[in-house]
Amino acid sequence: MNGMVRRRAAIWLLIPMLLAILPGCQLSGKLAEWTGTCGVVNEWVDFLILNDIHYDRIEGAEPVPDDQIGDKAGQVKYTMDDHPCSYHQARNGDAAYLAVGTPVFALKDYRPEFRVIANQQIYQVDHNPHAQTMGELLDIEGKVANVSLVSGNDGSIIGYLGADAAEQFVRELLPLQYVGFDEINKQTKPEYGISLRVHLQDGTSFSIGYKPEANAFTNGAFGTESLKILILSERDRIKAEAWM
């Protein structure tokens, strides 16, 4: 018994070294083989993949009423949370927590490439490899109520862009070339960013991160000089009015 205890203790002491040299799925497999457990606790983002498009659930949104549910867009074929130690790579039909067989529907008034519904919850695009512009990524033209500056600490609203500024922000954002989060992350350095929230006319909202030094939106696009001037001037105005 003591020998087995020492063996298991030695294995767990090796985990930091294994993390440095093995991909996560291989490490899980080795731990499962050696200890009978993969030793990994996964806390997935509540995601869904359909037609190569990655969606994340909008947290805090009200359940979607039946009259807003459109045509069926697909269904869940694999639940990642049921297989925490597998070598499975996420692909079409996969979801983090939605059960296998859960139907996925379009949301009326929005393109399914932007938003879909599962279990009456809204899932919004996080990455769309088919999108060429931010307008193709985000189906929000004519649907924005306002844009707010929010705290990077707790997400609370500090203030709102002026009506003309919000209109200009959306107008200049949507034609930008979409390159994706990974490309933005690769081409820019870490910096203290500006947190914005786009509020839609249906009462829902979503965040947009902006890196002023890089003039880049973390959602996947590089900005124009006029957008940079707009965002910085509105930030300064809002913070001054909030005595910050």
What pLDDT is attached to residue 37? 52
Spell out the domain ranges in the chain. 47-130, 135-241
Q: Per-residue pLDDT for 8 more than 70?
A: no
Instruction: Name residues whose C-beta falls within 8 Å of residue 97's C-beta, 6 or more positions apart in sequence.
Output: 44, 46, 79, 80, 81
Task: Give pLDDT tens digits for 11-70.
Answer: 334 444 444 444 444 444 444 444 445 555 567 799 999 999 999 999 988 999 999 999
Could you say which DSSP state residue 59 is in? Answer: T
For residue 74, CA distances in Å to 2, 94, 107, 116 come to 53, 11, 13, 10
Q: How wide is the angle at C-alpha 202 spanned by C-alphas 128 and 199, nearest 5°?
A: 70
Q: Can you list the positions of beta strands (E) in 89-143?
A: 94-95, 103-107, 115-118, 121-127
CB atoms within 10 A of CB 148: 19
Predicted pLDDT at 174: 98
In angstroms, the CA 167 to CA 14 distance is 55
Predicted local confidence at residue 41, as pLDDT: 58
pLDDT of the residue at 85: 66
Q: What is the mean pLDDT of the chain?
A: 87
Per DSSP, the three-state class of 74 is strand
Query: What is the C-alpha radius of gyration for the chain, rounded to an integer number of angstroms?
Result: 22
State the pLDDT at residue 55: 98
The whole-angstrom separation of Cα 214 and Cα 67 is: 43
pLDDT of residue 213: 97
- What crossing angle do the helices spanning 163-173 and 225-241 adopt, rounded to 10°? 150
Task: State the pLDDT confidence band at 151, using cuts at 50, 70 and 90.
Answer: very high
188: pLDDT confidence band, cut at 50, 70 and 90?
A: very high
